Amino acid sequence: MKDHLKQQINGGAIKPGGKLPSIRELSEQWGCSNNTVIRAINELEKEHLIYAVPKSGHYVIVRPSPSADRPAGQIDMAVAAPDPGIIPYEEIRHGLNRAVELYGDHLFSYGDPLGIPSLREAVSRHLADAQIFAGSERISVVSGSQQALHLLASMPFPNGKSTILVEQPCYAGMLTILRLLGATAIGIARTESGLDLDELERHFRSNAVKFFYTVPRYHNPLGTSLSRREKEAIAALAEKYDVYIVEDDYLADLETDSKSDPIYSYDRSGRVIYIRSFSKIMLPGLRLGAAVLPPAFIPSFRMYKASSDSSTAALSQAALEIHLSSGLFRRHADMTKERYGVRMRMLQEACSRYLNEDCRPSPSTGGIFAHLKLPDRLSAEELAAALRRKDVYVFHTAPCYLPSVESANSLRLSIIRTDEKQIEDGIRIIRETADELMSQRSAGKFSRSAVTWM
Lowest mean pLDDT across 13-22, 194-203, 393-402: 13-22
Residue 17 pLDDT class (50, 70, 90 cuts): low
The torsion angles phi and psi of 12, rounded to 5 degrees, stand at 90, 5
Least confident of 61-70, 292-301, 337-346: 61-70
- Residue 11 pLDDT: 62
Say what the pLDDT of residue 66 is: 45
118: left (phi over 0), alpha (psi -120 to 50) or beta: alpha
Instruction: Report the candidate in 84, 24, 29 with the shortest Cα–Cα distance to residue 418.
Output: 84
pLDDT of residue 444: 65
56-94 pLDDT, tens digit per residue, is 788 776 544 444 455 668 999 998 887 777 776 667 777
Mean pLDDT, residues 420-435:
95
Rounded to the nearest 5 degrees, what angle is found at the Cα of 163, between the Cα atoms of 160 and 166?
Answer: 135
For the cut 90, the answer to whether the pLDDT of residue 126 exceeds it is yes
Whether residue 362 has pLDDT greater than 90: no
Each residue's pLDDT tens digit, 364-419: 878 999 999 999 989 999 999 999 999 999 999 999 999 999 999 999 999 998 98
The pLDDT value recorded for residue 177 is 97
Most confident of 227-236, 413-422, 430-439: 227-236
* Model pLDDT, residue 378: 93
Whether residue 447 has pLDDT greater than 60 = no
Average pLDDT over residues 334-345: 90
Give me the domains of the chain, ranges plus CATH numbers.
1-64 (1.10.10.10), 93-328 (3.40.640.10), 339-453 (3.90.1150.10)
Mean per-residue pLDDT, 34-51 = 80
Report the pLDDT value the prediction gives residue 423, as an integer from 0 to 100: 95
Asked if residues 161 and 210 have their Cβ atoms less than 8 Å apart, the reply is yes
How would you write 234-262 as a 3-class SS string? Answer: HHHHHHHHCCEEEEECCCHHHCCCCCCCC
Q: How many CB atoms lie within 10 A of CB 160?
A: 9
**pLDDT for 244 beyond 90:** yes
Residue 30 or residue 188, greater confidence: 188
The predicted pLDDT at position 236 comes to 98
Largest pairwise CA distance in the chain: 77
Sort strands 369-373 and 410-414 into parallel, antiparallel or unpaired: antiparallel
Average pLDDT over residues 166-195: 97
List pLDDT tens digits, range 129-155: 888 999 999 999 999 999 999 999 999
Q: What is the pLDDT of residues 252-280, one digit of tens each?
A: 999 999 899 999 999 999 999 999 999 88
User: Between 242 and 47, whose confidence is greater?
Assistant: 242
For residue 303, what pLDDT is reported?
Answer: 97
Mean of per-residue pLDDT scores for the chain = 88
Q: How confident is the model at residue 215 (pLDDT cuts 50, 70, 90)?
A: very high
Q: What percent of the chain has pLDDT over 70?
A: 88
Nearest to 148 by CA among 290, 318, 306: 290
pLDDT score recorded for residue 72: 66
Cα–Cα distances in angstroms (integers) from residue 81 to residues 15, 41, 196, 373, in the given order: 22, 29, 31, 23
Amino acid 331: pLDDT: 85
Per-residue pLDDT at 449 exceeds 50: no
Percentage of residues of the chain with pLDDT beyond 90: 59
Q: Which residue has the higher pLDDT, 434 or 44?
A: 434
